[in-house]
Amino acid sequence: MAAHMRRLTHRYRAVINNNLTSLTSLRGYLSRSYSQVQTDFSSNRVRRTFTDFFHELYQHIIVPSSPVRPRGDPSLLFVNAGMNQFKPIFLGAADPRSEMATYRRVVNSQKCVRAGGKHNDLEDVGRDVYHHTFFEMLGNWSFGDYFKEEACIMAWRLLTEEYRIPPERLYVSYFAGDATSGLPADEETRHIWLSMGVPSDHLLPFGMKDNFWEMGEIGPCGPCTEIHYDHIGGRNAASLVNADSPDVVEIWNLVFMQYNREADHSLRSLPQFSVDTGMGLERLVTVLQGQRSNYDTDLFTPLLSAIQQSSNCPEYRGRTGEADVGKVDMAYRVVADHVRTLSVCIADGVYPGMSGAELVLRRILRRAVRFSTEVLQAPEGVLASLVPTVAHILGDAYPELHKETDRIMDIINENEAQFLSSLKQGRRVIDRTLQRLEKNDTLFPVPVAWSLHRNLGFPLDLIGLMLEEQGLSVDQRALDVLAIENEKLRCQVQTSGDTLVHLDLHSLAQLQSGEVPHTDDSPKYHYSLTQDGKYVFQPCHATVQALYCGQTLVSEVAGGQRCGVVLDRTCFYAEQGGQSHDQGYFIRDGLPDVLYPVEDVQLAGGYVVHQVTAAEVLRKGDQVQLYLDEPQRLACMVKHTATHVLNFALRQLLGSSVEQRGSHVAADRLRFDFSVKGSLSIPQLQEIERSIHNIITENNAVYIEEVPLARAKDIPGLRTVDEVYPDPVRVVSVAVPVADLYDSQTDRWTSVELCCGTHLLTTGEIGDLVIISERQMVKGISRIVAVTGDDAREAREAGQVLTQEVESLSARLAMVTSLSLADANRLAKEVGILTDAVDCTPIPQWKRRELQTRLKGLQRTTNTSIRKLETKEAAVKAQSLFKKNANKNIVVDTVDTDSISVLMKTVNQYSDRAPGTLVMLLSHQQPSGKVLCACQVPKGFSALSASDWALTVCVRLGGNAGGSATVAKGTGSVANLTEALRCAEEYAQDKTQNRC
């Protein structure tokens, strides 16, 4: 390791010296004195200075910020650090054909969100002046290029020369070592800083918590050195470093990636050392603009001003804690921070929703709405009105904010209206619950509080505040238990993926250092279409290059062992680009009757890894013959080409603003997510299917060609998604040869995409396509599920069968002129069964919507008939009971009915006839022995509650009951009905005579 670092140091010392002021001048610079920090840096200038410094002086490539939605990383809700998009490089898994694989020195400003998962600052935002949910991370990286000395020199020069920060205000921390982990102190970094002239009393050692950075539970990690800034100056503030002092803050973290944290928690030296630095733009701008609060910089002051003008609140004063009376300044900070987060996330395709990142964004929006409307007393719509200000502040760096301003405002307005409606509903729930509480109760029911949070989207802190206004509280511990249980349930995932074999970065490095060539997977594209319409897949013969078992490269595996097999060439498709991996098997030369099933195929750093459970011994160097599961592969090809055609049909119908938000291609069906305002209508669904059917009928050729990535991006009408593409890249075009796509005279609009998947050679092989589902996943994102071929034909046939059944039921209902209550209930049940069938059977979605509308009408018809018949029957029974119990103040009796609805209506009608009477009716079901109970008490009658009355009787019958103070119902099981009647009457008499 030491030799490796020495080589890097010697290699680049000349480069550093040519571009830097000498270390002697750096030491001299340290001795200069500054009376105040420079304040002429705008946030745009700070950001631009950072990237230009590394790009122009040290040849770093400027890489644009990735969207805040992580690329293919399910472990993250949001991009939360600058290094996220470079994880494939750190893990050794970057596609060797991609531009990313060529990166050695990189610089950028990355959009980050920390509001969920491991890094969650949401509840802290607003309470202080430096926490944010959205922030920008300035960073520079070296991937196996320069290391510690060069990184420290570059950082110091930028801060002290380019940004002109007084050196005496800077303090540097370094890793002190950790005996438990067997890690020595990072003396090398300490000596580097000392050699640069940093005073020893400004150079401080800290342990694992502060100065050892890890990517996660496992993965690359290493010691770090942090640069801290003293806002006060003119003193020695070493004791305040890492002491949570607002006066001395960390501004830059330089991480030296030199270890890998293994699954057993041990540390191994990385095959390639790297540098990963991160400096928060907001905090740096605060320093450079001479402020103490991030919210007093030009990143926020225009927003705070816009909030004040829109809400007519007192102007923002920057107060915190008890000094912030009424939490007005906290509300300013919350709204300003959250509208930035909402704007950036929505522009990047993350919309408020009900799960994952979308759920987090929904909570952020609702928290912002609450502070805006309840604390700042701002009118509805103010939150969205701030979006143009966000675009003005950040739009130069992130132009998508200008492009998406209208969409962002629409989505915020729609979600705000929904929440305000929920807020009114929630207040009614709280009020009703308070009415049922006893006078001395101080605790609000936990299940009701959780329901407000879970079902109506109330932030838990909002529930606490609303209850506090009523002098109540909720059992926070019980709420936390429910939240933890809910989180466990949400995080449950399929365990099948845990058994997959994945090459770790050490094994990848070992393959590369051993000069094992990357897998040639071009044979996966070697297939042809015969004249009789059959696909022929060419045979593939390969050599075992490596075997991977138990996180180790081995020379052989025994029969029964699960392992990863790397071949020199393969015809198997590794899962990528949304397409499922191939299945099949291979046989070893000399063992023609022994099959090695291929269970999974993954791509890692240019190597295709086949997951196999060895049937017999398998050795490195063995020759194998590969056999695809051809029907499964062909089915995926059909679905993938159909996905491209569907994407094109959507764009034809809805316009070029429609963007793909995700897709998955499997053998049985395809899934396609796209941006759209509202769900598709029945005519739109029909038009999409017609358009696709026309393309299928035309049997257009599918042209596929590899072209340089830069040239491919010049193709008019090209559809891309947020992925890292290889170079050269495959262009898939329907009906138009790829060479003709560049011809400006070509007026044919067609499907053309960058895609690594396997495709049909003609569109006719799709056979048919039926959209069996289309629904909004979150606001602005819809998901289509479709089937093809025979499955599509079966879906159409099932739709016709269900249509005939709905028409038959409709005709029978129309012919019935006089129904009995039993007949009406039977028909209503048929409508319900048919509704379930329509909802659950794979049929065309447009047909499903049509049938659902018709069935809702039939359900309304039967329900109306049932209500009329029940009312009529209840009137007869009430009349009979009235004759029998005339002049009684308490009526407890039995009624012969199987319907609790009829029983309730009978009680109601009797009470209308005798307004001051207490009425309870029981119905004994035969032969089940079940007892139905219904009762009503005159409104305002304080001596007796209907719900208490029903509960007392039903509990006596071994059942339960519920209701209000005036009306209640319940059930039980008969033991002695006469005794139950007597108990009911005595209870009512006791209450009315105040003897209980």
The H or E element that residue 595 is part of is strand 591-604
The per-residue b/e assignment along 79-106, b for 16 or more CB within 10 angstroms, e otherwise, is bbbbbbbbbbbbbbbbbebbbbbebebb
For position 119, what pLDDT does the model report?
55
Q: Are residues 989 and 894 in the same domain?
A: yes
The H or E element that residue 724 is part of is none
Q: Is the dihedral of CA 475, 477, 480, 485 positive or negative?
A: negative
In this structure, of 31-40, 61-70, 382-391, 434-443, the range with the lowest mean pLDDT score is 31-40
Label residue 513 by pLDDT band (50, 70, 90).
Answer: confident
Q: What is the CA radius of gyration of the chain?
A: 35
For position 283, what pLDDT does the model report?
95
- Domain harbouring 73, CATH code: 3.30.930.10
Structure tokens at 133: 């949910």
What are the two backbone dihedrals, phi and then psi, of residue 12, each rounded to the nearest 5 degrees? -105, 0
Structure tokens at 197: 């002239």
Closest CA to 988 of 909, 894, 920: 920
Write out pLDDT tens, residues 915-943.
989 999 999 987 778 999 999 999 988 88
**Rounded CA separation 706/683 (Å):** 38
In this structure, of 97-106, 383-392, 800-809, 987-996, the range with the lowest mean pLDDT score is 987-996
Q: What is the mean pLDDT of residues 663-689?
A: 93
**Per-residue CA distances from 97 to 93, 107, 116, 301, 508 (Å):** 11, 21, 34, 45, 16
Q: Which region holds residue 182: left if phi is over 0, alpha if psi is between -120 and 50, else beta?
A: left
For residues 718 and 733, the answer to whether their CB atoms sit within 8 Å is no
E-assigned strand segments in 341-458: 443-444
Q: Are residues 929 and 972 in the same domain?
A: yes
Q: In the chain, how many domains are there?
A: 7
Q: Is residue 862 part of a domain?
A: yes
Q: Is residue 736 part of a domain?
A: yes
**Rounded CA separation 112/137 (Å):** 7
Closest CA to 391 of 400, 380, 382: 400
Which of 624, 645, 671 is at the close of a domain? 624
Q: Are residues 815 and 924 in the same domain?
A: no
Q: What is the mean pLDDT of residues 581-591?
A: 91
Q: Is pLDDT above 90 for 419?
A: no
- Domain harbouring 944, CATH code: 3.10.310.40
Q: Is pLDDT above 80 for 544?
A: yes
Write out pLDDT tens, residues 226-238.
999 999 999 999 9
**Rounded CA separation 282/287 (Å):** 9
Q: Are residues 786 and 803 in the same domain?
A: no
For position 812, what pLDDT does the model report?
87
Q: Does residue 864 sit in helix, strand or coil?
A: helix
**Rounded CA separation 558/618 (Å):** 7
Q: Are residues 783 and 811 in the same domain?
A: no
Q: What is the mean pLDDT of residues 662-681?
A: 91
Mean pLDDT, the chain, whole residue set: 88
Q: Are residues 60 and 162 in the same domain?
A: yes
For position 479, what pLDDT does the model report?
80
**Rounded CA separation 902/921 (Å):** 11
For position 688, what pLDDT does the model report?
96
For position 634, what pLDDT does the model report?
95
Write out pLDDT tens, residues 842-870.
999 999 999 999 999 999 989 988 999 99
| CB-neighbour burial class of residue 950 (10 A; exposed 0-12, middle 13-18, buried 19+) | buried
What are the two backbone dihedrals, phi and then psi, of residue 94, each rounded to the nearest 5 degrees? -65, 140
Structure tokens at 398: 């992130």
Q: Is residue 6 part of a domain?
A: no
**Per-residue CA distances from 24 to 157, 710, 788 (Å):** 13, 45, 72
List residues forming the annotated binding site: 640, 644, 755, 759
Q: Are residues 451 and 423 in the same domain?
A: no
**Rounded CA separation 892/317 (Å):** 68
Q: Is residue 536 part of a domain?
A: no
> Of 466 and 609, which is predicted with more confidence?
609
Q: Is residue 881 part of a domain?
A: no
Closest CA to 756 of 735, 734, 726: 726
**Rounded CA separation 721/725 (Å):** 10
> Of 480 and 402, which is predicted with more confidence?
402
Q: Is pLDDT above 80 for 78?
A: yes
For position 490, what pLDDT does the model report?
53
For position 149, what pLDDT does the model report?
97
Which of 421, 436, 451 is at the close of a domain? 436
Q: Are residues 662 and 759 in the same domain?
A: yes
**Rounded CA separation 18/36 (Å):** 31
Q: Are residues 59 and 160 in the same domain?
A: yes
DSSP 377: -
What are the two backbone dihedrals, phi and then psi, of residue 630, each rounded to the nearest 5 degrees? -65, -40
List residues forming the annotated binding site for Zn(2+): 640, 644, 755, 759
Label residue 7 by pLDDT band (50, 70, 90).
Answer: very low
Residue found under tokens 């002092």: 245
Q: What is the mean pLDDT of residues 35-48?
A: 76
What are the two backbone dihedrals, phi and then psi, of residue 791, each rounded to the nearest 5 degrees? -65, -35
Q: Are residues 668 and 687 in the same domain?
A: yes
For position 723, what pLDDT does the model report?
78
Q: What is the DSSP string of 634-693?
A: HHHHHHHHHHHHHHHHHHHHH-TT--EEEEEE-SS-EEEEEE-SSPPPHHHHHHHHHHHH
Write out pLDDT tens, residues 318-340.
999 999 988 999 999 999 999 99
For residues 923 and 931, the answer to whether their CB atoms sit within 8 Å is yes
Write out pLDDT tens, residues 241-280.
999 999 999 999 999 999 988 888 889 898 899 999 999 9
Write out pLDDT tens, residues 728-741.
999 999 999 998 88
Q: Is pLDDT above 70 for 417?
A: yes
Closest CA to 948 of 973, 924, 966: 966
Write out pLDDT tens, residues 141-199.
999 999 999 999 999 999 999 999 999 999 999 999 999 989 999 999 999 999 999 99
Q: Is residue 30 part of a domain?
A: no
In this structure, of 54-63, 162-171, 648-657, the range with the lowest mean pLDDT score is 648-657
Label residue 500 by pLDDT band (50, 70, 90).
Answer: low
Label residue 18 by pLDDT band (50, 70, 90).
Answer: very low
Structure tokens at 652: 């034809």
Q: Is residue 206 part of a domain?
A: yes
For position 416, what pLDDT does the model report?
93
Q: Is pLDDT above 90 for 285?
A: yes
**Per-residue CA distances from 231 to 250, 279, 283 (Å):** 11, 17, 12
Q: Is pLDDT above 50 for 494?
A: no
Label residue 724 by pLDDT band (50, 70, 90).
Answer: confident
> Of 917 and 91, which is predicted with more confidence?
917
The H or E element that residue 152 is part of is helix 148-157
Residue 255 pairs in a beta bridge with: 224, 276
**Rounded CA separation 970/900 (Å):** 9
Closest CA to 921 of 891, 941, 876: 891
Which of 291, 307, 329 is at the close of a domain? 291
Q: Is pLDDT above 80 for 487?
A: no
- Domain harbouring 553, CATH code: 2.40.30
**Rounded CA separation 18/598 (Å):** 55
For position 34, what pLDDT does the model report?
39
Question: pLDDT above 90 covers what percent of the chain?
Answer: 61
Tell me the whole-structure pTM to 2 decimals: 0.77
Across 223-227, 456-460, 739-743, which has the greatest mean pLDDT? 223-227
For position 478, what pLDDT does the model report?
83
Q: Is pLDDT above 90 for 836?
A: yes
Write out pLDDT tens, residues 937-977.
999 888 899 999 999 999 988 899 999 999 999 999 876 78
**Rounded CA separation 41/900 (Å):** 75
**Per-residue CA distances from 423 to 370, 458, 917 (Å):** 9, 8, 39
Q: Is the dihedral of CA 795, 796, 797, 798 positive or negative?
A: positive
Q: Are residues 414 and 475 in the same domain?
A: no
Sequence letter at residue 134: F
Write out pLDDT tens, residues 549-574.
988 899 999 988 899 999 999 999 99
In this structure, of 62-76, 316-330, 499-513, the range with the lowest mean pLDDT score is 499-513
Residue 185: CB atoms within 10 A of its CB come to 16
Label residue 70 by pLDDT band (50, 70, 90).
Answer: confident
Q: What is the mean pLDDT of residues 419-424?
A: 84
- Domain harbouring 784, CATH code: 3.30.980.10
Q: Are residues 509 and 469 in the same domain?
A: no
Q: Residue 316 belongs to what domain range? A: 299-436
Q: Is residue 12 part of a domain?
A: no
> Of 11 and 81, which is predicted with more confidence?
81
For position 6, what pLDDT does the model report?
41
The residues, any chain, with a CB within 8 Å of residue 153's CB and separated by 6 or more, are 16, 20, 23, 26, 196
